[in-house]
């Protein structure tokens, strides 16, 4: 199963379970320092950058988290459902 279809995730390092609340949400990407500097100096016009990710909830604390799919290090995660 792929991460963008998962309903329940297990984070191995903390032995914590997370429930995926929403898939395919758009997350605004933070510009890198050099891009921001160039934009402020008017060399390059900075456009918003959006990447796809998910919102997931910790089963222990109930806290919500948002993460782009590309930031999941799959060796640290198990897809349970």
pTM: 0.75
The answer to whether 21 and 64 have CB atoms below 8 angstroms apart is yes
Domain ranges of the chain: 3-79
Buried b (16+ CB within 10 A) or exposed e, 27-59: beeeeeeeeeeeeeeeeeeeeeeeeebbebeee
- Max Cα-Cα span within the chain: 48
pLDDT at residue 4 in the model: 93
pLDDT digits (tens, 9 = 90+) for 44-65: 555 668 899 999 999 999 999 9
């Amino acid at each position: 199963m792929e991460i963008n279809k998962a309903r329940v995730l297990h984070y191995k390092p903390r032995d914590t379970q997370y429930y995926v609340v929403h898939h395919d949400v758009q997350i605004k990407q933070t510009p890198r320092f050099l891009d921001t500097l160039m934009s402020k100096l008017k060399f390059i016009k900075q456009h918003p950058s959006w990447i796809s990710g998910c919102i997931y909830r910790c089963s222990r604390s109930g806290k919500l988290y948002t993460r782009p799919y590309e930031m999941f290090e799959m060796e640290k995660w198990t897809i349970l459902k």
